[in-house]
Amino acid sequence: STSSSPLFSLSSLPLFPTHAKRQEEAMDGLRVGDWVIGDELGSGGCGSVFKAVNANTSQECAAKIIDIGQLAVKEMMRPKQIRNRIEREINILRSLDHPHIVKLYESVEKNEKYYIFMELVTNGELLDYIDEDGLSEATQKKYFRQIISAVAYCHNQEPQVIHRDLKLENLLVDKDFNIKITDFGFSNFQEGDTLKTMCGTPEYAPPEVFLGRQYMGPPFDMWSTGVILYAMATGYFPFRTASSGNIMHKEGFDIPDECPVGCGKLIKRLLEQEPKLRPTAEEVLLDPWLVDGGQTKKAKTKKSGEGSSSSSSKKSGEGSSKKSEDGEKKKKKEGEENGEKKERRKKKKKDGEEDGEKKKKKKK
């Protein structure tokens, strides 16, 4: 038996807030083409994301800004290699059109920086909504279906698009509480049978990536979705972060008793050590647990011909009205529950930051 890892730790806090503040001030009000850069929304390994507004149409968007020189130094790569990688990300985003993938509006290269203007998704990351109890089963199914449908779409492209960095932080939640996959910085077109670049986030990357050999793209993404589903169901990662060996070899994980049986079975299929034995995204969409959907069973209806047409017509009208009402109530309730979870997680993060500051002061 192995212990699982929490989804948040002090090690994930920003190390250089002063530098980040200076960068934010430098970008505020900057105009790039028709876009005016505003407040910083967040930052990642490849760059920072700012809110931007189109000066002509007032359309809002998320602007990902990548400094070529800085990233080249950080990644120990030549600027030309960084350019090629960014251009590939842009080309991939331009080729995709799916309701659960962020849309690309425009990209601009200016003053040794790339500005990638994308759809603005306003309700934060999926990570913000997961507490120590995970998500409700119905919400797990809803979100996981959306994630898998987008992954299946990518894998069905010609050539296949492999994301290679699917994780909770790269799954955004929109205003209607639907998922949008973002950050295709590590993605690639798979034109042959295998890929070879070691990339991704250790907690989400499959064991074969750490072996230094070529690997198949789709099973890489499917493993990552297994880690995501485990986190949604339990509130934890399946593998210990304390042991680098365990992180790389991904050996031994427990399915908690409170995890629904069907969900646990699907997780085991996705976290299969042998890449060829993992299900495809199309196969996962047909998984019994996911197909069941967590929806309320439909009431039994009378056989054809039973009952009068007038009464059935009346009931039909009442039913559709009630269905609409119930849908609105469900959406409102889901929004409230998700909002509460997000607030609890924000508080935890704030408490963690405060604890970190206290530790720093004590050391001084």
* Predicted confidence (pLDDT) per residue in 90-102, tens digit: 999 999 999 999 9
Domains recognised in the chain with CATH numbers? 20-119 (3.30.200.20), 124-291 (1.10.510.10)
Mean pLDDT is lowest, of 116-120, 126-130, 241-245, 326-330, for 241-245
Residue from 41, 177, 14 nearest 118 by CA = 41
Burial class (CB in 10 A: 0-12, 13-18, 19+), 244: exposed
Distances (CA, A) of 308 to 109, 300, 311, 322: 68, 17, 5, 21
202: alpha, beta or left? (left if phi > 0; alpha if psi -120 to 50): alpha
Question: Are 63 and 35 a contacting pair, CB within 8 Å?
Answer: yes
Mean pLDDT is lowest, of 49-63, 129-143, 291-305, for 291-305
Mean pLDDT is lowest, of 224-233, 274-283, 300-309, for 300-309
Q: Per-residue confidence at 306, pLDDT binned at 50, 70, 90? A: very low
Catalytic status, residue 165: yes
pTM: 0.76
Query: Alpha helix locations (H) across the chain?
Result: 17-27, 68-75, 79-95, 137-155, 217-234, 244-249, 261-270, 281-285, 288-292, 309-363
Residue from 85, 77, 80, 79 nearest 188 by CA = 85
Q: Find tokens 């949604």 and name the residue.
A: 232
Angle at 103 between CA 171 and CA 86, to 5 degrees: 85
67, 165, 221, 287: which one is catalytic?
Answer: 165
- Which DSSP string corresponds to 168-194? GGGEEE-TTS-EEE---TT-EEE-SS-
Q: Per-residue confidence at 239, pLDDT binned at 50, 70, 90? A: confident
What is the rounded average pLDDT of the residues 19-36?
72
